[in-house]
Every structure is written in C-alpha cells, then in structure tokens.
Amino acid sequence: MPLHISAYDIGCEPSPSVPAETLLQDGWATFLLFFAVSKSIGASGHLDDLGVAVLECVGCAATKFGYPNDEGLPEHPLYGSGLSGASSAVSEIAGSDWAKEVAEQMRQSTSRIWGGRETPQTTSSATSLRHFVITLKELTFECLASSLVVESYAADFTSAFSYVQSRFNEH
C-alpha cells in the first residue's frame, strides 16, 4: 500500500498557540493531554476553547513524543509525503513503514512464544495497528494504536491528571 496521509477527526484540534502537551502512559494505557479548541469558528468569531483534551490512544503499541516542534516540522520524515498539507493537526498515515515494522515484530514474537498454539488476548494486535501523527505547538506525537478517542475535556491539567490516574488504577 502506498503511503497516504489523511485527517483523522477526534472532534477538536490542539491549540495552535498554547503549549503544554503532556503524555501519560503506563504498561496498559496511553493518554495525550493538550489544550483543545473547536474545529470551526464559534459565535465569538474565534475558535472556542474546549479545555484540556484527554485523548486515549486505544490499543496503543508504541509512541514517539518530542521533536519536531511547529518550526521544525519541515524536517519530519513525512513532511514531504503529505504531512505539510494536512488539513488537521491530527493525521492518520496509511501504508506506514513504522506500523509495518512493529506489526512484523509482533507477529514474530507471537510465533516464537506461542508457536502453533492459540494466543491470549493482547492490548493491541498487529493487524489493527494504525499510525497516527499529532502536530502540536512544541512537540510532535506519534503512536501506533487501533484508534484515538477524546475521553473528556477537563477544566485544567489537575483535573485531567486525576481522570487519567483513575483510569490507570483500573488495571
């Protein structure tokens, strides 16, 4: 499958002007927190502030979080393949080499560990890995997951952290 980059709708966009993006991850769940704005202009004539988005990376197998920031985005390896013209800060990368590489590693591990026997359920399977990229003000976030879902909008980071901590405590 050739590489194809398309917008992925999570119901909001990361704020283009307010940094504070935070990644919270344990062995079972992955959450990205960021100041969120509406996808369209509100009654005020501006994008509406939605609070702190708590985005869950459902079935997450791997993450990358860091460089490039918004000024360094032209140096991202996917920039020339369509990331530069993305209509949203949240994109899905179809035909991703990274997704293929990790899926193959997962298949090899399953085969080595389980042989021909039935395998137990895992948090993500190699066949459901999708590559997502979220360009933020000061960082870029990438993950391999089955989907991205905004679980809630919190009034502040303290409330968002509390929500994520309660989710971590469910395991």
123 — pLDDT class (breaks 50, 70, 90): very low
Count CB atoms within 10 A of the CB of residue 132: 24
The helix/strand/coil state of 92 is strand
- Region of 70 please: left (phi>0), alpha (psi -120 to 50) or beta: alpha
Q: Domain range spanning residue 160? A: 4-168
Q: How many domains does the chain have?
A: 1
The predicted structure's pLDDT at residue 118: 62
**Mean pLDDT confidence for 93-109:** 92
Q: How confident is the model at residue 121 (pLDDT cuts 50, 70, 90)?
A: low
Average predicted confidence (pLDDT) for the chain: 91
Q: pLDDT band at 124, cuts 50/70/90? A: very low
pLDDT bin (cut points 50, 70, 90) of residue 113 is confident
How far apart CA 134 and CA 8 sit, in angstroms, is: 10
Q: Please count the residues of the chain.
A: 171
**For residue 11, which of 122, 153, 127 has the smallest C-alpha distance?**
153
Q: So what's the pLDDT on residue 119?
A: 58
Residue 29, both tokens = 């769940």
Cβ atoms of residues 34 and 20 within 8 Å: yes
Average pLDDT score over residue span 75-81? 94
Query: How confident is the model at residue 26, as a pLDDT?
Result: 94
Confidence of residue 125 (pLDDT cuts 50, 70, 90): low
End-to-end CA distance of the chain: 36
Instruction: Give residue-wise pLDDT tens across range 132-143.
Output: 999 999 999 999
Q: Quote the pLDDT of residue 128.
A: 82
Q: Among residues 142, 171, 153, which one has the least CA distance to residue 50? A: 153
Is pLDDT of 32 > 50?
Answer: yes
DSSP for 120-164, please give it.
Answer: PP-SS-GGG-EEEEEE-SS-EEEEEESEEEEEEEESSHHHHHHHH
